[in-house]
């Protein structure tokens, strides 16, 4: 008996007697009730991530059953395995900190266990990038399946979708126009089904990116979580995964510079989440592809925003699905895309577009000729305040603030922000720029979604709705405002952001992609000496927290761990 190279025999360590090793493995597998016939099949592993702490993946048991049905029908054996799951709102200090942990778990479990292909079941914000990062590094044939978005709820005549509307009603509650009783009723109506956030937040953005890269079956990114098509997509994913065993296509053939360029175009055209630029950079980095922020700018100036979804537009994810979803977006962007990119089905993007049905609802997905705006949703700014770049979601920002020189009001940490932002004596006026320091990847908070600084209470009471806010933090994909994020290098690394003081002038120019700190070289040099002298000794961090602080790269490199990027890439 010579062990085969697939199925249970993969990666067997035999210590000199291969027949004994396969006999042992089979006898243990048989204790789970499988027949010899089943155990001789090739194996599709299923990275399975339900969790009591992840509401977005509540539909996974039913989806798993459908994936397994597809795998079995196509002649392989489906075996699910757990990896950690990341439920966005339940993780402290921030979910981003655990994306790399989930990527490690996914990569190593794909590599360590005997499987010939893998289905990646994810959905909630950080899970899809984590799984794609791990799968690209493991480079076994892999296919992504997502939970799908939630349906909207109703509050009287109003539609509610997590979680852009969460913020709107909370602002009204803070302003006293919504009562405590009403906000409690709304709380029960914001997230009424399983699935991921109901707008173009990070989850929907990452699903669209996975489909554009070619790592997901065409047409499956935006199917609502509760729709029967979601289960049919799961079944089809199982079949496709089994077929990938006979004709292997590896992530390294799919995630290429060309497909990453297509994904950047789509990110811009859908008005996608700012978080997605970090995630796409990290996924590409696993394949050895740099995503410099000036590449984003180059594409941003020539990519129209086509999709009119909240938080920047009017509609919800279920409307995006009904309107034609990614098929329509790709068709409208077609002249800007590389059609030769290979996908998990074995088709190229061009093959897919050639059999496109050609219908969509132009109210929700605009034709390229009459876009929501003629420039992309995201733009990178560079300058003396952000030498390695910062991100502005211009599609979610107030254009009247795009060319501004104004006074900085600085908060040195999240604690300082919490202590002073609502202080009636805070020295701040509506035209100022709010600056938050020490909320980047290496800070103790691990780059939380704190970049959406609240408008100081006394200004909110005067009716101020938006101000320029600058930080090294992130922002929720479901938020909006004139918010400059991901400043690199971050303050905790000694980036110029650490040297800003209240009263300094900052110049922002979106037209020129600039973000300048208007302080003389001499003053900055003196402040830097003071900063170095006052720099606290590295706090006693241990375990994963320490590993994270030591290994995490800056936002412009995707916040991956240096050692997990493809070898040969430079780490600045």
- Interacting residues toward Mg ion by CB under 5 A: 125, 201-202, 476-477
Instruction: List the one residue from 107, 125, 165, 308 that touches ligand FES (CB under 6 A).
Output: 125
Instruction: List the one residue from 49, 152, 196, 312 that touches ligand FES (CB under 6 A).
Output: 196
Q: Quick one: which segment of 195-203, 217-225, 486-494, 502-510 binds ligand FES (CB under 6 A)?
A: 195-203
Neighbours of 114 (CB within 10 A): 17
Q: Are 558 and 278 in contact (CB under 8 A)?
A: yes
Applying CB under 6 A, does 144 fall inside the site for ligand FES?
no
Residue whose token pair is 């009562």: 179
Neighbours of 436 (CB within 10 A): 25
476 binds, among ligand FES, Mg ion, none (CB under 5 to 8 A by kind): Mg ion
Parallel, antiparallel, or unpaired for β 468-471 and 158-160?
unpaired
196 binds, among ligand FES, Mg ion, none (CB under 5 to 8 A by kind): ligand FES
Q: How far apart (Å, rounded) are the C-alpha atoms in residues 289 and 292?
A: 10
214 binds, among ligand FES, Mg ion, none (CB under 5 to 8 A by kind): none
Give, as ranges, the residues between 203 and 242 that touch ligand FES (CB under 6 A).
203
Q: How far apart (Å, rounded) are the C-alpha atoms in residues 201 and 153?
A: 17
Label residue 62 exposed, middle or buried (CB < 10 Å: 0-12, 13-18, 19+).
middle
Would you say 200 or 299 has its CB closer to ligand FES? 200
124 binds, among Mg ion, ligand FES, none (CB under 5 to 8 A by kind): ligand FES
Q: How far apart (Å, rounded) are the C-alpha atoms in residues 397 and 379?
A: 11
Would you say 103 or 467 has its CB closer to ligand FES? 103
280 binds, among Mg ion, ligand FES, none (CB under 5 to 8 A by kind): none
408 binds, among ligand FES, Mg ion, none (CB under 5 to 8 A by kind): none
Q: Are 196 and 123 in contact (CB under 8 A)?
A: yes
Q: Are 435 and 410 in contact (CB under 8 A)?
A: yes
Q: Are 241 and 118 in contact (CB under 8 A)?
A: yes
Would you say 12 or 91 has its CB closer to ligand FES? 91
Would you say 141 or 201 has its CB closer to Mg ion? 201
The minimum distance between CB 91 and ligand FES, in angstroms, equals 10
Q: Quick one: which segment of 196-204, 223-231, 285-293, 493-501 binds ligand FES (CB under 6 A)?
A: 196-204
Question: b/e per residue, 522-538, with b = 16+ CB within 10 A?
Answer: eebeebeeeeeeeeeee
Would you say 197 or 268 has its CB closer to Mg ion? 197
The minimum distance between CB 248 and Mg ion, in angstroms, equals 34
Q: How far apart (Å, rounded) are the C-alpha atoms in residues 472 and 448?
A: 9
Would you say 125 or 507 has its CB closer to ligand FES? 125
Label residue 315 exposed, middle or buried (CB < 10 Å: 0-12, 13-18, 19+).
buried
Would you say 396 or 491 has its CB closer to Mg ion? 396
The minimum distance between CB 478 and ligand FES, in angstroms, equals 7
The minimum distance between CB 197 and ligand FES, in angstroms, equals 3
Applying CB under 6 A, does 146 fall inside the site for ligand FES?
no
Would you say 50 or 304 has its CB closer to ligand FES? 50
89 binds, among Mg ion, ligand FES, none (CB under 5 to 8 A by kind): ligand FES
CA distances from 439 to 150, 210, 423, 451 (A): 30, 28, 21, 8
Instruction: List the one residue from 9, 83, 88, 487 that touches ligand FES (CB under 6 A).
Output: 88
Neighbours of 514 (CB within 10 A): 16
The minimum distance between CB 89 and Mg ion, in angstroms, equals 8
Which positions ≥6 away from 6 have C-beta within 8 Å? 42, 43, 116, 245
Would you say 279 or 394 has its CB closer to Mg ion? 279
Instruction: List the one residue from 197, 293, 337, 439 that touches ligand FES (CB under 6 A).
Output: 197
The minimum distance between CB 516 and Mg ion, in angstroms, equals 30
Would you say 205 or 212 has its CB closer to ligand FES? 205
CA distances from 472 to 50, 263, 388, 539, 554 (A): 32, 24, 12, 20, 10
Euclidean distance between the first and final Cα of the chain, in Å?
Answer: 52
Applying CB under 6 A, does 89 fall inside the site for ligand FES?
yes
Question: Is residue 544 reached through a cis peptide bond, with omega within 30 degrees of 0 on the bond before it?
Answer: no
Site string for ligand FES, 34-63 (x = CB under 6 A): ----------------------x-------
Q: How far apart (Å, rounded) are the C-alpha atoms in residues 356 and 129?
A: 27
Helices (H), 217-256: 228-246, 251-254
Residues that bind ligand FES (CB under 6 A): 56, 88-89, 124-125, 196-197, 201, 203
């Amino acid at each position: 008996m010579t062990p085969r190279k697939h199925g249970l025999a993969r990666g067997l360590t035999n210590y000199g007697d291969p027949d004994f090793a396969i006999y042992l493995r089979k006898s243990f597998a048989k204790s789970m009730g499988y027949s010899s016939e089943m155990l001789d099949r090739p194996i599709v592993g299923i990275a399975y991530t339900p969790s009591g702490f992840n509401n977005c993946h509540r539909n996974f048991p039913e989806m798993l059953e459908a994936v397994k049905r597809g795998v079995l029908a196509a002649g392989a054996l489906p075996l699910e395995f757990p990896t950690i799951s990341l439920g966005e709102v339940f993780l402290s200090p921030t979910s981003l900190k655990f994306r790399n942990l989930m990527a490690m778990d996914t990569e190593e479990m794909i590599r360590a266990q005997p499987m010939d292909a893998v289905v990646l079941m994810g959905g909630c914000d950080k899970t899809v990038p984590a799984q794609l990062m791990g799968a690209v590094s493991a480079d076994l044939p892999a296919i992504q399946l997502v939970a799908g978005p939630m349906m909207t709820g109703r509050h009287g005549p109003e539609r509610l979708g997590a979680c852009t509307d969460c913020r709107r009603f909370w602002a009204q509650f803070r302003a006293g126009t919504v009562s405590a009783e009403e906000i409690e009723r709304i709380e029960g109506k914001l997230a009424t089904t399983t699935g991921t956030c109901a707008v173009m937040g990070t989850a929907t953005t990452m699903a669209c990116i996975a489909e554009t890269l070619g790592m997901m079956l065409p047409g499956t990114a935006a199917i609502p979580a509760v729709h029967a098509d979601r289960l049919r997509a799961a079944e089809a994913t199982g079949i496709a995964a089994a077929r990938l065993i006979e004709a292997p296509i590896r992530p390294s053939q799919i995630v290429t510079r060309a497909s990453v360029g297509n994904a950047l175009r789509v990110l811009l055209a859908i008005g996608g989440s700012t978080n997605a630029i970090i995630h796409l950079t990290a996924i590409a980095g696993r394949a050895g592809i740099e995503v410099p922020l000036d590449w984003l700018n180059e594409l941003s100036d020539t990519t129209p925003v086509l999709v009119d979804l909240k938080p920047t537009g009017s509609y919800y994810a279920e409307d995006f699905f009904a309107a034609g979803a990614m098929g329509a977006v790709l068709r409208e962007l077609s002249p800007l895309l590389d059609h030769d990119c290979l996908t998990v089905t074995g088709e190229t993007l061009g093959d897919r577009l050639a059999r496109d049905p050609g219908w969509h609802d132009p109210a929700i997905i605009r034709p390229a000729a009459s876009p929501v705006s003629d420039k992309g949703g995201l733009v990178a700014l560079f300058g003396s305040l952000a030498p390695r770049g910062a991100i502005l979601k211009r599609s979610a920002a107030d254009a009247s603030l795009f060319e501004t020189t104004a006074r900085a009001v600085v908060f040195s940490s999240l604690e300082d922000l919490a202590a002073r932002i609502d202080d009636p004596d805070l020295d701040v006026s509506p035209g100022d720029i709010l600056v938050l320091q020490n909320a980047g990847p290496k800070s103790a908070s691990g780059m939380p979604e704190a970049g959406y600084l609240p408008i100081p209470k006394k200004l909110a009471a005067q009716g101020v709705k938006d101000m320029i806010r600058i930080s090294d933090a992130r922002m929720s994909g479901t938020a909006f405002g004139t918010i400059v994020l991901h400043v690199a290098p971050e303050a905790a690394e000694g980036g110029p952001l650490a040297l800003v003081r209240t009263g300094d002038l900052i110049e922002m120019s979106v037209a020129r992609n600039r973000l300048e700190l208007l302080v003389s070289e001499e003053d900055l040099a003196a402040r830097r000496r003071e900063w170095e002298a006052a720099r606290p000794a590295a706090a006693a961090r241990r375990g994963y927290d320490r590993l994270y602080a030591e290994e995490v790269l800056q936002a412009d490199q995707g916040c991956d761990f240096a050692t997990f990027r493809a070898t040969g890439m430079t780490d600045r």
